Amino acid sequence: MFLVPTYVAASRIDGRGVFTPVAIPAHTVVWDMDPEIDWLITPEELAQFPEPYRSRFVHYCYLNVDGFHVYCGDNGKYMNHQNEPNCYESGTQTITARDIEAGEELTCDYRAFVHNPQDHPVA
């Protein structure tokens, strides 16, 4: 769940992205896994989802190293990948790697937390 204000808008990286309307200092925790908001779904559970829901979930989920599909229940599902992102992952948290300007897109490196990177190709 995001711990800072965010909004979704058109992204230069890919389709839509998540942006912040406020400046955020470096080393700020901006997102943390919240089981009340973010879902952990087993592959077996996901296989039981009817279409078109399964396809939509797969598009916005990632498979973590524990074998769960993670569905961010907030704007987290819109974070785009960059090879040199402005946020990084630490355990269940996303932290700013540098100062973030108001209006800037928040980005992460999918390779840091996705178990099957081929599910989310990165450039």
- Overall pTM surpassing 0.75 (yes/no): yes
**Domains of the chain as residue ranges with CATH:** 1-31+79-109 (2.170.270.10), 38-71 (no CATH)
pLDDT in tens, 79-95: 999 999 999 998 889 99
Q: What is the mean pLDDT of each run of 10 residues along the chain (123 residues)?
A: 97 94 98 93 92 87 84 93 93 94 95 61 47
Query: What's the pLDDT score for residue 122?
Result: 47
Q: What is the 3-state secondary structure (H, E, C) of the chain?
A: CECCCCEEEECCCCCEEEECCCCECCCCEEEECCCCCCEEECHHHHHCCCCCHHHHHHHHEEECCCCCEEECCCHHHHCEECCCCCEEEECCEEEECCCECCCCECEECHHHCCCCHHHCCCC
Q: How far apart are CA 89 and CA 115, in angstroms?
A: 14
